[in-house]
Amino acid sequence: MGLILCGVFSSCKKDEEDVIWDYSPLAINIIVLDAEGHNILNPDVEGSLYGTSISVTYNDETYQTKWTSEDWNTRYLAPYFTGLTFKQGKVWEDGQSHPVGELNHLSFGEFESSHDVTMYLTLHIPTLDKDYEIECRHTFRWVNKEPHQEDKYFVDGVSTGSEYAVITVPESMPL
- Average pLDDT score over residue span 33-50: 93
- Average pLDDT score over residue span 38-49: 93
Average confidence score pLDDT of the chain: 86
- Place 75 in a pLDDT band, splitting at 50, 70 and 90: low
- Average pLDDT score over residue span 73-99: 84
Bigger pLDDT: 101 vs 36: 36
CB of 160 within 8 A of CB of 148?
no
Q: State the pTM of this model.
A: 0.82
Per mean pLDDT, which range of 79-93, 106-120, 146-160 is the poorest? 79-93
For the chain, what are the domain ranges?
A: 24-168
- Residues whose CB is less than 8 angstroms from the CB of residue 1 and which lie 6 or more positions away in sequence, other chains included: none
Bigger pLDDT: 123 vs 80: 123
CB of 30 within 8 A of CB of 134?
yes
- Average pLDDT score over residue span 5-15: 50
- Average pLDDT score over residue span 112-140: 94
- Place 137 in a pLDDT band, splitting at 50, 70 and 90: very high
CB of 109 within 8 A of CB of 82?
yes
Whole-number Å distance between alpha carbons of 50 and 86: 9
Per mean pLDDT, which range of 7-21, 120-134, 158-172 is the poorest? 7-21
Q: What's the pLDDT at 4?
A: 47
Q: Which amino acid is at 13?
A: K
Is-cis flag, bond preceding 70, omega within 30? no
- Place 118 in a pLDDT band, splitting at 50, 70 and 90: very high
